[in-house]
Amino acid sequence: MSINIGFWQTLKASGASFRNHNGLKLSASLAFYSIFSLGPMMLIIIFVSNLFWSRQAIDGTIYNQISELV
């Protein structure tokens, strides 16, 4: 029974801390900057992977991953 009470106290404290530290604003800014960092990160990944694999293999893998995502 004490484990269940500890869980609810922890959950309540987490929610209060999330509100006190402006959690929604911080999570929104993290999502915003993450989206804008994806393009340059993909360029770096493609450049580095060109050192190890052929261009056709990389293009095919990227195309397959994007087509599965969409």
Q: Where are the domains of the chain?
A: 2-69
DSSP 9-42: HHHHHHHHHHHHTTHHHHHHHHHHHHHHHHHHHH
More confident residue, 57 or 21: 21
End-to-end CA distance of the chain: 46
Q: Could you tell me which residue, 15 or 55, shows the higher pLDDT?
A: 15
pLDDT in tens, 26-66: 999 999 999 999 889 988 988 888 888 888 888 888 888 88
